[in-house]
Amino acid sequence: MDMSQYLEVFIDESKEHLQTINEQLLELEKNPDDVSIVNEIFRSAHTLKGMSATMGFEDLANLTHQMENVLDAIRNGKISVTPELLDVIFRAVDDLEAMVVSISEGGDGKRDVTEVVAQLKQIEKGDVVVVPQKSSSTYEQTYDEFEYTILKQSAEQGFHSYEVTIKLRSDCLLKAARVFMIFEVIEQIGEVIKSVPTVEMLEAEQFDDQFVVTVVTKVSQDELQKRIMKVSEVEEVNVQSVDLRRSVEQDKPLEQKEEPKVEQKTVEQVVDKKQENQEEKTTGKQVSNKTIRVNIERLDVLMNLFEELVIDRGRLEQISRELNNPELHETVERMSRISGDLQNIILNMRMVPVETVFNRFPRMVRQLARDLGKKINLEIIGAETELDRTVIDEIGDPLVHLLRNAIDHGIETPDVRRAKGKPEEGTVKLKAYHSGNHVFIEIEDDGAGISREKVLKKAISKGIISEQNAANLTDKQVYELIFASGFSTADKVSDISGRGVGLDVVKSTIESLGGSVSIDSEEGVGSIFSIQLPLTLSIISVMLVEIQKEKYAIPLSSIIETAIVKKEDILHAHNQKVIDFRGKVVPLLFLKDIFEVPVVKEDDDFLSVVIVRKGEKMAGLVVDSFIGQQEVVLKSLGNYLTSVFAISGATILGDGQVALIVDCNALIK
């Protein structure tokens, strides 16, 4: 019997069952005596085992069977639930996820799981299982998706990535002090991305004589080796280049491993969610006839066809205005209304709840909290908020990093929190909500907050700002500095947070999606990172303007307002023309000079100015005249024109003319 036709359904359903198992295991940790949770996990594992066996994936079926035996023993009260037992089950789930990903990428789903199977059998017998730590001689660096991204981006920017194995003399007395000195040396010439064992273990001297660090630097291998060897009591330094082609499977949660193949992606359309949720609660059965799986590629084609329709709609509206025929006018208006409704439906079909990204975080937070010896409660609010599929695919990495940042730098250890009069358990809130044409995602923690003095001190030492400017900055502007490249306020190096190499990556990723990120913080109370994202990326509202004989489009999301300014009101400051706009000094940018537009007509005594904003910064874009607001389709300029300054794309207007879309972020920078 040919099973290949069922493969896609098998992969999708396996992922859903594994997600359920992950979520329910986290619940079980909070309520270890709740048998109903164990039953729920058992049901998902049992279904997964049956599906795997039917499809012929024996390794997957065998490991699930072994896990099922342990769950059955818990269910019958033979074994009690402990964090150590859950660690082993989580490891088994990681292996199952890796197998499913292997199958989805065309592999056979085979994996060496003898160690975890042996541990599960021990648990089943009632023995206490201690998850073995890797011995110091066999440290091996594995990178999660975020660290892997940093290493790749560093390589693209001309940095070298090295794995440095450092061995201290066996008679070394103050190992932690030596480690600190070694990190100091590395910091002068590069950045530490990861260390094994973790920095906390190194500081507590919980290692034998050697450890491994991954370093990003511009110096050569020999130079790095010489510098570290200068630290006394270092016996041996071995520097190897990082192989960026190495698999990142071990550390990668399932949902982060989206398949590159378009065919595998499907979007579920929920016809009537509320009704379905009610029915599921009452009957406990899955309602399958309410949803239909649609290949994402088909939705992309549908979107492209609709974009062409929007262009023709604009053309028809213009012809109708020119001919001034009432019947044509009426028909075109009606068509515009219907196509507007159609646009909403198509955009909604591409929408996916952010829960698909948020689902992977509780498990990650649990692991980080255990690694760092902290108590953390993750609250997720608004997971049903929907975002365009293209945005969802990109937003995972920045959120992972901001969460790690909150857990590592933000939340303090239980003893520090006690001393400050806070509850031992820190709270991290992950919240998503709609507002206008945007989705906001906020990450809030009740940790230590950001120290203004520490940030300024670091920024001045790195040469990001001068001491004179530092005194004039508002708190919000100071917090923005932590998004500068290579910035970190960590007192000690940590392999969890990526050492500040990543916040600039977070900012650039979000801005590339047409979004923005801001920080609000109070020292000792906590911080809020707020991300603003557009609902969709392809159809945008713009203000059409004219510069000489050319037309340009400025996205409405960047515009504060428009103004008419007299020439005599223009002031000069630091060789820059500026205006006084509502008590603020706003620099003027003459688009005709920036885009080298051929001059055809003379200037008036009045200037038309579009005031735009990016974060706290503002600028006035000088144009010749305003045409009006319009919805346009954003088309890319193609591969040949990727590096055009301050132009993010183009659109075709109703009269067939091409208008370039201005990238306000690049202009303000």
Active site members: 46, 68, 405
CA dihedral (639, 643, 645, 651) in degrees, to 10, reads: 10
The token pair at 276 is 């379905």
Q: What does the alpha-carbon distance between residue 613 and residue 554 come to, in Å, rounded to a whole number?
A: 12
Q: What is the largest CA-CA distance in the chain?
A: 95
Provide the edge-to-edge strand list for the sheet that holds 376-381: 376-381, 426-435, 438-445, 526-534, 516-522
For residues 412 and 484, is the Cβ–Cβ distance under 8 A? no
**Side chain identity, residue 151:** L
Tell me which DSSP letter residue 530 carries: E
413 DSSP assignment: P
The CA-atom distances, in angstroms, between 188 and each of 122, 143, 215, 306, 376 are: 48, 24, 12, 54, 33
Backbone angles phi, psi at 60, to 5 degrees: -65, -45
- The letter for the amino acid at 98 is A
Report the C-alpha gap between 217 and 603 in whole angstroms: 52
Q: What are phi and psi of 139, to 5 degrees?
A: -60, 135
390 CB-near residues (< 8 Å, 6+ apart):
350, 537
**How is residue 617 written in tokens?**
């910064």
With a CB cutoff of 8 Å and minimum separation 6, the contacts of 4 are none
- Roughly what angle, to the nearest 10 degrees, separates helices 221-229 and 175-189? 150
Cβ(334)–Cβ(320) below 8 Å: no
Exposed/middle/buried for residue 486 (C-beta within 10 Å: 0-12, 13-18, 19+): middle
Q: Tally helices (H) and strands (E) across the chain.
A: 22, 24
428 and 532 Cβ atoms separated by less than 8 Å: no
For residue 98, what are its two tokens? Answer: 């890796």
Bridge partners (DSSP) of residue 572 are: 577
Gap between the Cα atoms of 210 and 136, Å rounded: 6
Sorted by sequence, the CB contacts under 8 Å of residue 1 that are 6+ apart come out as none
- Whether 476 and 520 have beta carbons less than 8 Å apart is answered as yes
- Residue length, the chain? 669
Report the alpha-carbon distance of residue 411 to residue 443 in Å, rounded: 12
Q: Which two tokens stand for residue 615?
A: 């974060």
Q: CB–CB of 546/625 below 8 Å?
A: yes
DSSP SS3 for 427: strand
Q: Can you read off the two tokens belonging to residue 289?
A: 């006839």
Interatomic CA distance for residues 378 and 392, integer angstroms = 20
Asked, as a colleague might, if the bond just before 197 is cis with ω within 30 of 0, I would say yes
